[in-house]
Structure 1
Amino acid sequence: MEHSNTPQQNKQQNKFGNWLKTSITARMLMVGFLVIILLIPLSYINSLIHERAFRQADVVNEINEKWGNHVLVYGPILKLPYKTYKETTIYNKESNTYSTETQTHIKYAYIFPESLNTKVSVDPKTLKRGNFESAVYTSKMNFTGSYIQPQLALKDIKDEDIVWNKATIIIKTSNLKGIKNEVAMSLNNSKYPFETNFNNSNNSYLNELESVFIKKEDLPFNATKNFDFSMTFNGSGQIEIIPIGKTTTMEMTSNWADPSFMGNYLPNDDTKEITKDGFKADWKVLHINRAFSQQHLNNIPNLNQFAFGTKFMVMVDEYQKSERSAKYGFLVIGLTFLIFFLIQTLSQIHIHPFQYLMIGLALTMFYTLLVSISEHSNFLKAYVIAGISVIALITLYSKSILKTFKFPLFIGLSLTALYTFIYVIIQLENYALLVGSIGLFLILASVMFVSRKIDWNNG
């Protein structure tokens, strides 16, 4: 049995429908509700961006592990063995007497150089895997410096107890796999090769290289001795050294345009140069600037906290830019709906909630287009393609809704200005908050200026 609406019910439905069409309050509630609904697909888009960013991080880590990880060099350190003596009292039961026995033990003193000068040349390149890429580099590091006579008497060690013919040189590094040359030190004009030493009880993530025994005439037991050696690394991320010289200097040059200087010590401002073609930086660290001495007994101290150098970083990568762009999704949807709301209110053109929803979904498609295209191209090209596609789609769709050329043209220009404004903010680092605040203030002022003509008492 079919039931039909009564005249009273039809009248109430017509009244409610007319209220939705004519009431400003109803339209505002409807637009606000749709904006909140569209936050759901925006959240999924943000999840997609995070997922792709994590995937990129995994691929970058895999590339870097195979090419070479970050570079930290700690050395060269002179390793001097010395004798210590321990007296033990022994009781003889048969004779009921005591005797003293002296035992000799070998321990080690670790001597840092008087001067350590490092010249580093870094040649970066890009490695790709699928849609992802990583910035890596090849660095050539040349070390020069000198040792002076150790003052082990200050540590209560006599000169005659030092075993000079068993002395070696230690170099520690975080990137043993990335070394691309045979490491040999020239000390007092003699060459000493290095071999890997797996005795790595200190500085757990640092690997150790140790030289063969040094000839006594090449050791600084009676005069200053000069050294030099070179190391070539395949690496990624950053390059650091530990300033173990009483005076430590480092000069670094590269064609990398976005260096980030890191660690306890910054380069000298008067010699630092950063251009679009690369950078040049110089450091100088004195022993008075750090909290450790030049001589250490028994073990090599963990001094990683005193390292300094340069991080080779991409200031804002594609996924970071996409994520920052998606954060403005609420703003884009809200302002676009506001434009349609003002046009609808001022011109008395009816726009159905379904049409608002289609426009909102088109705006969210911008971000999926941006992420997918940027994986195969640069961010600017992806942004332009996604922006033009969405602006053209919404402009043509609004032409069918608004029935005139004037309003769709205004909407297209407004969206173009809005996406351009957001792109500028994304590119900025230091002035993003300032420019964004000024832009939002101007947008608010424009809305206030236009909305003053609306009779808010009607509905």
Structure 2
Amino acid sequence: METQKQKKSFGQWIKTSITIRMLMVGILILVLLIPLSYIQNLISERSYRQEEVVKEINQKWGNEVLLYGPVLKVPYQVHSQTKTWDDKTKSYIQENLITVYNAYFFPNTLDIKTNIESETLGRSIYESVVYTADMKIKGSFTVPNFEIKDIEADDILWNKATVIINSTNLKGIRSNLTLNIGTESYPLRSKYNQNSYTNTLETQFIKEISLPKENTVEFDMDLIINGSEQLRFVPVGRETNVAMTSDWASPSFNGNYLPDTKTKEITENGFKAQWKVLQINREFEQEFFGELPQINASAFGVKLLIPVDEYQKSERATKYGYLVIALTFLVFFLIQTISKINIHPFQYLMIGLALSMFYTLLISISEHSSFLKAYIIAGIAVVVLIAMYSKAILKSLKFMGFIGLSLTALYAFIFVIIQLESYALLVGSIGLFLILGTIMMISRKIDWKND
């Protein structure tokens, strides 16, 4: 008889113990981490698919554009002597060898004016931003200095001099390229370059009238090119000036040099920016002998920054999923403890799964609409579902309204944090501090001694 009473009292303690309830809620929260992790994997998978589609669109339209040039290329001869053994004469024969190298001379001035017109291309539910850049390029070459390498005038092969331009995107060029030097025009043609990040365009041999043998010569050219993601230039001029305008409202200026803050202007209709780079600002010389080095790391320009897309926002939202589940369970736990209403673990599990469904609704709806609309629809659906369910298990309109308002405030708070960038940590910390203070005030009514 006494043993039966002990069993009954132990079973009653299991049902009413606050400690047991807390352990149960904690275990359920850990269990619900599993569907949340699957949801995060789903977002990553969909985001990766988006990247693949965007990459394919960009490849067909034209990848990023990096422009490097024009550069004057002048071959020259180097004389050397070698000795070879002659078995017939039983002596060494001295021979003169002539090796041809190339000298590269950068422009004295380089001015580039470009207008970027952006366009949105879509495939299925995915979109990519591409652009068409209309460039006006002009500058000048001064008389090359071969004396620094002790190269004699007779060894300079002026009759084989050319001008080259390097670019990462020949596929996107939409105009026949002609370089005007002085009074002459020279078409540019592709030249295969196996070991270079950029592709080379080169003119035919420059006529003597166009060469800067004794005086400075000026050049100009027009270029229309399709590209995506970003547009950059290597400052090869002794003085490089770039002026850029665009109808894209979210630029990200990158590279080694930033535009002049006095001329930079960003509005909802586009942006304007200007750069001025001097030779003294660079890490490389004005001329090279032998090989043209890789100086792409010195490039600067603009990236057409795509605002945070739906998948990035959804991923940020899921990072707060653990917080939403924990706080919602805590609200139910406090109501259960204070009102002495019994809530079964299965009911906690249903509430947790409903909270998890918010993120799948958010992802699926945002693929066909804006993130704001998707967030509102998913939030309303989950809040109404849990509020109606709480009415069934708590048997009180007061508790139903309290839970509905709590979830609405929580989702609104998280939405604000997602939209913020610079102040996200500050606002989040203040919000969590206020939530913690509220919970501490409410939990004072719980009698922990009778556990």
Asked if Structure 1 and Structure 2 have the same fold, meaning a TM-score greater than 0.5 normalized by the shorter chain, the answer is: yes
Work out which of the residue numbers 140, 161, 171 in structure 2 matches 1:177. Answer: 171
Distance in 2, Cα, partners of 1:353 & 1:96: 103
Work out which of the residue numbers 37, 55, 58 in structure 1 matches 2:49. Answer: 55
Any idea what the Cα deviations from partners look like across 1:183-237, whole Å, max 9, x if unmatched? 1111113211100001344xx2211100111111111111111111122221111
Structure 2 gap ranges (5+): none
Work out which of the residue numbers 377, 381, 385 in structure 2 matches 1:389. Answer: 381
Please state how far the C-alpha of 1:19 moved relative to its aligned partner: 2.1
Work out which of the residue numbers 438, 447, 450 in structure 2 matches 1:455. Answer: 447
1:330 matched to 2:319? The reply is no
1:44 matched to 2:38? The reply is yes
Structure 1, 54-63 or 362-371: larger mean CA deviation: 54-63
Distance in 2, Cα, partners of 1:9 & 1:165: 113
Please state how far the C-alpha of 1:299 moved relative to its aligned partner: 1.4
What TM-score results when the alignment is normalised by the length of structure 2? 0.95
Please state how far the C-alpha of 1:120 moved relative to its aligned partner: 2.0
Work out which of the residue numbers 435, 438, 445 in structure 2 matches 1:446. Answer: 438
1:164 matched to 2:164? The reply is no
Give SS of 1:335's match: helix
Distance in 2, Cα, partners of 1:271 & 1:356: 59
Structure-1 residue corresponding to 2:340: 348
Please state how far the C-alpha of 1:313 moved relative to its aligned partner: 2.1
Provide closer, same or farther for how the CA distance between residues 94 and 45 of structure 1 changes in structure 2, counting only shifts above 3 A.
Answer: closer
Any idea what the Cα deviations from partners look like across 1:305-359, whole Å, max 9, x if unmatched? 1111111122422111111100100000000111111111222222111111111
Amino acid corresponding to residue 335 of structure 1 in structure 2: L
Structure-1 residue corresponding to 2:271: 279
Provide closer, same or farther for how the CA distance between residues 160 and 377 of structure 1 changes in structure 2, counting only shifts above 3 A.
Answer: same
Structure 1 gap ranges (5+): 1-6
Provide closer, same or farther for how the CA distance between residues 387 and 8 of structure 1 changes in structure 2, counting only shifts above 3 A.
Answer: farther
1:235 matched to 2:222? The reply is no
Structure-2 residue corresponding to 1:27: 21
Amino acid corresponding to residue 226 of structure 1 in structure 2: E
Structure-2 residue corresponding to 1:366: 358
Structure 1, 298-307 or 135-144: larger mean CA deviation: 135-144
Distance in 2, Cα, partners of 1:13 & 1:43: 40
Distance in 2, Cα, partners of 1:450 & 1:92: 105
Provide closer, same or farther for how the CA distance between residues 401 and 192 of structure 1 changes in structure 2, counting only shifts above 3 A.
Answer: same
Structure-2 residue corresponding to 1:125: 119
Structure-1 residue corresponding to 2:290: 298
What TM-score results when the alignment is normalised by the length of structure 1? 0.94
Structure-2 residue corresponding to 1:254: 246
Please state how far the C-alpha of 1:260 moved relative to its aligned partner: 1.4
Provide closer, same or farther for how the CA distance between residues 97 and 407 of structure 1 changes in structure 2, counting only shifts above 3 A.
Answer: closer
Amino acid corresponding to residue 157 of structure 1 in structure 2: I
Give SS of 1:119's match: strand
Give SS of 1:21's match: helix
Q: Is the 8 A contact 1:171 1:209 kept in 2?
A: yes
Structure 1, 434-443 or 87-96: larger mean CA deviation: 87-96
Provide closer, same or farther for how the CA distance between residues 11 and 354 of structure 1 changes in structure 2, counting only shifts above 3 A.
Answer: farther
Structure 1, 237-246 or 88-97: larger mean CA deviation: 88-97
Distance in 1, Cα, partners of 2:234 & 2:328: 55
Distance in 1, Cα, partners of 2:5 & 2:114: 85
Amino acid corresponding to residue 199 of structure 2 in structure 1: N
Provide closer, same or farther for how the CA distance between residues 142 and 200 of structure 1 changes in structure 2, counting only shifts above 3 A.
Answer: farther
Structure-2 residue corresponding to 1:318: 310
> Counterparts of 1:73-92 in structure 2 under 5 Å?
73-89=67-83
Structure 1, 439-448 or 78-87: larger mean CA deviation: 78-87
Q: Is the 8 A contact 1:153 1:159 kept in 2?
A: no
Any idea what the Cα deviations from partners look like across 1:114-172, whole Å, max 9, x if unmatched? 11111222112221112222221111222111110011111211223222221111011
Distance in 1, Cα, partners of 2:386 & 2:12: 27
Work out which of the residue numbers 377, 398, 419 in structure 2 matches 1:406. Answer: 398
Any idea what the Cα deviations from partners look like across 1:249-302, whole Å, max 9, x if unmatched? 211221222211111111112221122222211111111111211111111111
Provide closer, same or farther for how the CA distance between residues 12 and 377 of structure 1 changes in structure 2, counting only shifts above 3 A.
Answer: farther
Structure-1 residue corresponding to 2:98: 104
1:144 matched to 2:131? The reply is no
Please state how far the C-alpha of 1:37 moved relative to its aligned partner: 1.0
Provide closer, same or farther for how the CA distance between residues 199 and 335 of structure 1 changes in structure 2, counting only shifts above 3 A.
Answer: closer
Structure 1, 81-90 or 407-416: larger mean CA deviation: 81-90
Distance in 2, Cα, partners of 1:12 & 1:129: 69
